[in-house]
């Protein structure tokens, strides 16, 4: 039972949202939620109050709205099924986690985001034709995305080329269906190895024939190996290769595009954290170099919150007829509140201010990380590439005999550090670890880093 106080300072829908979230986290609220009408009658509040609460729970990815069925609490996801980009809090017992996660929303950005959420909730009953949610997402959000891409990445496109999705899994699923429909045969795709496990598993489930392409720690995907393989598509993270971190040089970008053009194929560019290049201006996006040849993927999970579940695709114009043919009768899978809040957050200027502040904080944490790990690199204990870090770096232990004692020490000190094992698709190379540094204040990050340094000091060269 929920207890809502009309005399409280918080609106009724916020009180209801807070109590339902707590019930979900305690495991008390599972399965299908009561209908909006029945819960409104039970609590003696308006249907709008309950609808606002449900929409907020959907926006926070705790609840899903199934058409013609109702609202359902999302079931827990097994650890191995969690997105490689978002595998952070679903970990066993630890006191501190150097997890790879979204960039921290500092106080100003958090307040602005709450205002945008409240604005979206209040405005949902005043929608006009322009703010209606179509299959591709709201036109207002797509217009803001187009402006962002032109300003930040040098990509010039039309809102009709943008498709709003619930995350990378849906984006990749939609891309496969479009390309398969365009080619009229199953897709063969080259994928970086090591790379993004969630992309690999998603595409494999879709029946895509996957060809792992090796990656180097200093130069990104080995473009010559792309030339050797019979591919329809190649999936790359060229701005900051995930997970090893190297950006793909401009000459190699142009060569990759030439190779795929000769194959009459396309490139899928996952630009997952280019906003957070800590050392210099990011290299031009592949999409900016070849607008008609590149399918561009990005989103807001790293810049706002992984719980937002809001990503987008930018299609080449030649794929739009196939998209409209295949998805003509589909409805948008992203909630109105999530889209409207993100639109307001960007339009208000709060998003750009958040990115600038995050970059400043991330540079400080990156410098701290480099300073603390460099002595171990100099001693030959570990190897790390300090380059165009976005919101993580990778290091590996040079002496394989240190791996077991290192991992035992991590467990003993209750420090979580994600191993890279699941990022390899052909042959696992043990002893590689990912350090995320964006999700903390500098003081918090220093606390976890001090634990790591203490553990490294116990290892022998």
Question: How far apart are the C-alpha atoms of 286 and 300, rounded to whole Å?
Answer: 19
d(CA 226, CA 192): 10
pLDDT digits (tens, 9 = 90+) for 6-65: 777 778 888 898 888 878 876 678 888 999 988 988 888 898 899 888 888 887 778 888
- What residues have CB less than 8 Å from 239, skipping those under 6 apart? 247, 248, 271, 273, 274, 277, 282, 283, 285, 388, 390
Give residue 414's pLDDT: 87
- How far apart are the C-alpha atoms of 430 and 237, rounded to whole Å? 22
Question: Given this model, what pLDDT does residue 128 score?
Answer: 58
pTM listed for this prediction: 0.80
> For the structural domain made of 117-349, what CATH number should be given?
3.40.640.10
Query: Among candidates 261, 254, 223, 277, which has minimal Cα distance to 393?
Result: 277
Q: What is the pLDDT of residues 364-383, one digit of tens each?
A: 999 999 999 999 999 999 99
Q: pLDDT for 219-265, tens place per residue?
A: 999 999 999 999 999 999 999 999 999 999 999 999 999 999 999 99
Per DSSP, the residues of 224-272 read: HHHHHS--SEEEE--SS-TTT-PPPPHHHHHHHHHHHHHTT-EEEEE-S
Written as six digits, the tokens of 22 are 């707590």
- Evaluate if residue 1 carries a pLDDT over 70: no
What are the residue ranges spanned by the domains of the chain?
12-76, 96-110+352-456, 117-349
What value does the mean pLDDT of the chain take? 88
Q: pLDDT higher for 419 or 82?
A: 419
- For 312-340, write each residue's pLDDT tens digit: 999 999 999 999 999 988 888 888 899 99
136 burial type by CB count under 10 A (0-12 exposed, 13-18 middle, 19+ buried): buried
DSSP 181-230: HHHTS--EEEEEES--HHHHHHHHHTT-EEEEEEEETTTEE-HHHHHHS-
Whole-angstrom CA distances from 422 to 225, 229, 260, 404 are 22, 24, 28, 17
The closest alpha carbon to 254, from 228, 275, 280, 285, belongs to 285
- Domain covering 96-110+352-456: architecture: Alpha-Beta Complex (3.90)
The CATH number that domain 12-76 falls under is 1.10.10.10
């Amino acid at each position: 039972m929920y207890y809502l106080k009309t005399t409280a300072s918080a609106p009724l829908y916020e009180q209801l949202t807070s109590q339902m979230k707590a019930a979900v986290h305690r495991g008390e609220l599972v399965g299908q939620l009561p209908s909006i009408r029945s819960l409104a009658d039970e609590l003696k509040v308006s249907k709008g109050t309950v609808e606002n609460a449900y929409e907020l729970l959907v926006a926070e990815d705790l609840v899903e709205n199934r058409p013609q069925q109702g609202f359902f609490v999302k079931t827990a996801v097994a650890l191995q099924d969690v997105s490689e980009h978002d595998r952070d809090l679903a970990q066993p017992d630890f006191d501190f986690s150097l997890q790879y996660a979204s960039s921290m929303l500092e106080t100003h950005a958090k307040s602005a985001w709450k205002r945008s959420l409240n604005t979206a909730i209040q405005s949902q009953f005043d929608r006009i034709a322009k703010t209606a949610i179509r299959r591709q997402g709201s036109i207002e959000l797509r217009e803001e995305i187009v402006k962002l891409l032109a300003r930040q990445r040098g990509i010039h496109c039309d809102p009709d080329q943008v498709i709003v999705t619930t995350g990378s899994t849906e984006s990749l699923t939609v891309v496969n269906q479009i390309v398969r429909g365009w080619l009229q045969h199953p897709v063969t795709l080259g994928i970086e190895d090591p790379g993004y496990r969630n992309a690999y598993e998603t595409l494999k489930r879709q029946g895509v024939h996957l060809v792992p392409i090796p990656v180097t720690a200093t130069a990104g995907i080995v473009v010559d190996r792309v030339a050797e393989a019979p591919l329809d598509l190649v999936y790359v993270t060229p701005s900051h290769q995930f997970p090893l971190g190297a950006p793909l040089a401009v000459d190699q970008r142009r060569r990759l595009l030439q190779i795929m053009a000769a194959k009459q194929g396309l490139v899928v560019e996952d630009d997952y954290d280019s906003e957070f290049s800590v050392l210099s201006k990011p290299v031009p996006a592949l999409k900016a170099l070849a607008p008609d040849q590149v399918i561009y993927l990005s989103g807001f999970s790293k810049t706002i919150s992984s719980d937002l579940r809001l990503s987008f695709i930018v299609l080449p114009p030649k794929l739009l007829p196939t998209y409209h043919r295949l998805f003509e009768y589909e409805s948008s899978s992203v909630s109105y509140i999530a889209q409207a809040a993100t639109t307001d957050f960007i339009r208000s200027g709060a998003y750009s201010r958040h990115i600038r502040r995050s970059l400043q904080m991330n540079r400080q944490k990156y410098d701290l990380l480099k300073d603390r790990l460099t002595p171990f690199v100099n001693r030959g204990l570990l190897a790390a590439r300090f380059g165009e870090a976005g919101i993580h770096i990778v290091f590996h232990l040079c002496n394989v005999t240190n791996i077991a004692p290192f991992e035992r020490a991590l467990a003993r000190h209750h420090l979580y550090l994600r191993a890279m094992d699941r990022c390899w698709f052909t042959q696992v190379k043990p002893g590689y670890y990912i350090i995320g540094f964006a999700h903390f204040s500098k003081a918090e990050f220093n606390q976890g880093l001090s634990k790591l340094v203490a553990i490294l000091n116990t290892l022998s060269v």
